[in-house]
Chain A
Amino acid sequence: MTAALLVQSAVIGLSIGSIYILMALGLTLMFGMMHIINFAHGAVYMLGAFAIYYVYFQWGAPYFAAFVLAMLLLGAFGYLVERSIYRPIKGGVEPTLVALLALTTLLQAAGYPVFGTLDKHVPPVFSGTRNVLGVMISVERLMIIPIAGALVVGLYLFINKTRIGAAMRAIEQDKEAAALQGVNVNVINGLAFAVGFALAAAAGALMAPIFKLDPMMGEQPLLKAFIIIILGGLGSIPGAILGGLILGLIDSIVATALGAEPAFLLSFVFIILVLLWRPTGLFGHAL
Chain B
Amino acid sequence: MPSNARAATVFVAVVALLIALPFVGGDYYIYLFALVFINVILAASLRPSLTCGQLNIGHSAFMCIGAYTSALLAKNLGVPFEISLLCGALLAAVVGLAIGYPSLRLRGVYFAMVTVAFVEAIRLIASIWVPLTRGNAGLSVPKPSLLGMTLATRTSQYYLALVLMLIVLVILYKLERSRLGLVWKSIGMAENLAQSLGVDIANHKLLAFTLGCFFAGVGGAFYAHFIRFLFPPEFGFLLATNILVYNFVGGRGHFAGPVVGAVFLSLLSEPFRGSPYETIFFSIVMLLTILFLPGGLITLPGKLAGLRRWRPTSGTYAPPASA
Per-residue interface assignment for chain B, residues 158 to 170, with 1 indicating a CB less than 8 Å from any chain A CB and 0 otherwise = 0000000000000
Q: Which residues of B contact A279 (CB under 8 A)?
A: 102, 105-106, 110
Decide: A268 and B118 in contact? CB cutoff 8 A.
yes
A265 touching B276 by the CB < 8 A rule?
Answer: no
Query: B245 and A102: CB pair below 8 A?
Result: yes
B117 within 8 A of A: yes
Partner of A234, one of B110, B279, B280, B320: B110
A95 touches B294 (CB 8 A): yes
Closest-CB distance, A29 to chain B (whole angstroms):
14
Q: Which of B70-78, B284-292, B306-314 contacts A (4 or more CB under 8 A)?
A: B284-292
Interface residues on B, range: 35 or more
Q: What chain A residues lie within 8 Å of B102 (beta carbons)?
A: 272, 275-276, 279
Chain B nearest Cβ from A54, distance in angstroms? 20
Residues on the B chain within 8 Å of A31, using CB: 109
B118 touches A98 (CB 8 A): no
Given contacts A102-B290, A261-B128, contact A219 B276 (CB under 8 A): no
Task: Please tell me which one of the listed residues B113, B279, B320 contacts residue A37 in the complex, with CB atoms under 8 A apart.
Answer: B113
Q: How far is the CA of A176 from the CA of B113 in the complex (A)?
A: 27
B114 in contact with A94 (CB, 8 Å): no
Q: Does A138 contact B (CB under 8 A)?
A: no
Residues of chain A lying within 8 A (CB to CB) of residue B113:
37, 226, 229-230
Asked if B121 CB lies within 8 Å of chain A CBs, one says yes
Chief secondary structure at chain B's binding surface: helix
Q: Can you list, as one digit per residue, whether each of B99-115 has a CB less than 8 Å from chain A (1) or not (0)?
A: 10011011111101110
For residue B108, give the distance in angstroms from its CB to the closest CB of chain A. 7
A275→B107 CA distance, assembly (Å): 12
B62: chain A residues within 8 A (beta carbon): none
B116 at the interface (CB under 8 A from A): yes
**A261 engages B124 (CB within 8 Å):** yes
**Which residues of A, 71-123, contact B by the 8 Å Cβ criterion?**
85, 88-89, 91-99, 101-103, 105-106, 108-113
CB distance from B70 to the nearest CB of A (A): 23
> Can you list 27 contacts pairing A with B, beta carbon distance less than 8 Å?
A85-B287, A92-B320, A92-B321, A93-B323, A94-B53, A95-B248, A99-B287, A102-B282, A102-B286, A103-B287, A105-B283, A106-B279, A109-B277, A109-B278, A109-B283, A110-B280, A261-B127, A264-B124, A268-B117, A271-B114, A272-B103, A275-B102, A275-B106, A275-B114, A279-B106, A279-B110, A287-B106
The 7 closest A-B pairs by CB, nearest first: A106-B283, A109-B279, A102-B286, A92-B321, A275-B102, A112-B276, A109-B276
